[in-house]
Structure 1
């Protein structure tokens, strides 16, 4: 599989990095997979610099601001939901690999639930916080011991990885036969994405390199012999992303507007299936 010349693709939007650099990036439409691609993509040795911010909350356990508190509260609620989804595919609670494990909360919950856990997290600060919870993470997926896993999870991680095709190949090589790959990513076809346009916080350029749609991600993984088994909505994301988007717009009455937009997004998604974020459960075939 080959990548197209991204510079030649049509530009859908131009978005600003509100978190770190205040630089602008284009979102190019890759029609083959109905996805958007951040352009230009930072070089591999430059990527880390775009994560160097106290505002990048998934690498912290911060509860300093209202947005922090909402994020941490939703994270706690979602831990049980994630475990329910994982266990629905594997009642025996075998081996689980979490890629992009952040500060280790999901793996900690999975360990307490009886799973044999492993994890990957590139950010040293997040790994340190996980270590304080006695969750030991490796920095790179290539540092994992030689073994295969019953379940691999990526909670809002796939959109961050460079060399997308190669990474999916690596994930597949780490799964057991009939293994389950669970991926949560934002959906740029959602109502809140359409409403906020270039201000939509889940574009999060340039940290998010790829922007998926349900149709596109199913086609993409079929190319690697994965079958989509089930899809689950992440309804809280519509509210959290809307709140951040209102902040980026510097609008008045941000909380009320975010609440309204998040509610509308979830309401419309009940009919369309286009939730702000979706969890995709794939099985190797």
Structure 2
């Protein structure tokens, strides 16, 4: 485990021939993302290098830790809920009747493992008392699984999100998955949660290894990431909403997520999927239309949204009855220490 973490750290400072931190095999150029669509004034292109055998990708060259915070300086990011409120009615109007019907149709075929309060109750060990969420944002998930435990704590790198979480009465400390605060490292936890966090880390193996060291003997860890094996990701390529480079630095399939957990010394007990309906909701359709327009260097037009609705109708036809690995936009593993 230490050797793999060392390989990943070495890779972060090497500009050529990156090595996969999961297996040590060579990676090769994959997708090129022409700009950060959320910050179109920054015209830098980003390269995703890919390990085809293991289904794992990384942005390369790796950014410096000091640069990462600037990637999140955008009003519409989800951890900045206090600064941005979407106009849901306007989004529904812009996608039209067909766009609105897509979401309703998709509900009929939704079978994903949504992380509801009841779902959390089903996986939390019966005698569990303590929980930790790493990358907890403003604390919404902590308030969902927290009632099933005596105490919950969170770690979050964004100071604005930390402030929102604390204003809600939650115990949240500022820090990262690779460098957890000392106060967090002083305890063991019966539940540890990574929800769409591992893709943001500079060193995903180290992030999970740090968490493993804090997992109690009978504890469980839930790790969820975007699913690069999904049909939506395949069809949209660099325009896929969940790609979100450069905030997302690592890219997983179900197989590579399992491999990452195993490289960190965890045992994968279950592989679950979620995120079907949201691929057909107005905000998703508009964002993917906007990504296309931004990458072409022009303003978003109604024609772009109409085109995206038609594209998504084809995606629905191809995925409604598909295998879960192709259908859902996210994959989740449930892990234990051994």
Q: TM-score, normalised by structure 1?
A: 0.86
Q: Structure 1, unaligned stretches of length 5 or more?
A: 71-77
Residue 206 of structure 2 corresponds to 166
| 8 A contact 2:194–2:222 mirrored in 1 | yes
Structure with the greater alpha carbon radius of gyration: 2
1:142 matched to 2:181? The reply is yes
Judge which range, 237-246 or 43-52, deviates more: 237-246
The secondary structure found in structure 2 opposite 1:252 is: helix
Pairing of 1:12-31 with structure 2 (within 5 A): 12-15=30-33, 16-20=35-39, 21-31=42-52
| 8 A contact 2:132–2:154 mirrored in 1 | yes
1:239 matched to 2:280? The reply is yes
Judge which range, 240-249 or 39-48, deviates more: 240-249
* CA-CA distance at 1:112 after TM superposition: 3.3
1:108 matched to 2:143? The reply is yes
1:229 matched to 2:275? The reply is no
* CA-CA distance at 1:237 after TM superposition: 4.4
In 2: Cα distance, 1:139 partner to 1:229 partner: 30
| 8 A contact 2:268–2:336 mirrored in 1 | yes
Residue among 257, 262, 279 paired with 1:217: 257
Q: TM-score, normalised by structure 2?
A: 0.73
Residue 46 of structure 1 corresponds to 67
Residue 260 of structure 1 corresponds to 313
1:7 matched to 2:16? The reply is yes
1:178 matched to 2:218? The reply is yes
| 8 A contact 2:121–2:145 mirrored in 1 | no
Q: Structure 2, unaligned stretches of length 5 or more?
A: 18-26, 93-111, 294-303
* CA-CA distance at 1:199 after TM superposition: 0.7
* CA-CA distance at 1:47 after TM superposition: 0.5
The secondary structure found in structure 1 opposite 2:181 is: helix
Change (3 A) 1:271 1:214: closer
1:117 matched to 2:152? The reply is yes
Judge which range, 23-32 or 178-187, deviates more: 23-32
In 2: Cα distance, 1:180 partner to 1:59 partner: 29
1:84-130 deviation digits (Å, cap 9, x = unpaired): 33322223442110111111111123333444100011111111111
Residue among 236, 241, 244 paired with 1:196: 236
Residue among 139, 163, 181 paired with 1:128: 163
Residue 21 of structure 2 corresponds to none
Change (3 A) 1:45 1:68: farther
Residue among 85, 88, 93 paired with 1:63: 85
In 2: Cα distance, 1:68 partner to 1:137 partner: 35
The secondary structure found in structure 1 opposite 2:220 is: strand
Q: Stretches of 4+ moved more than 4 A in 1? A: 67-70, 240-243, 271-274
* CA-CA distance at 1:262 after TM superposition: 5.7
Change (3 A) 1:171 1:257: farther
The secondary structure found in structure 1 opposite 2:66 is: coil
| Paired positions, count | 278
Residue 120 of structure 2 corresponds to 86
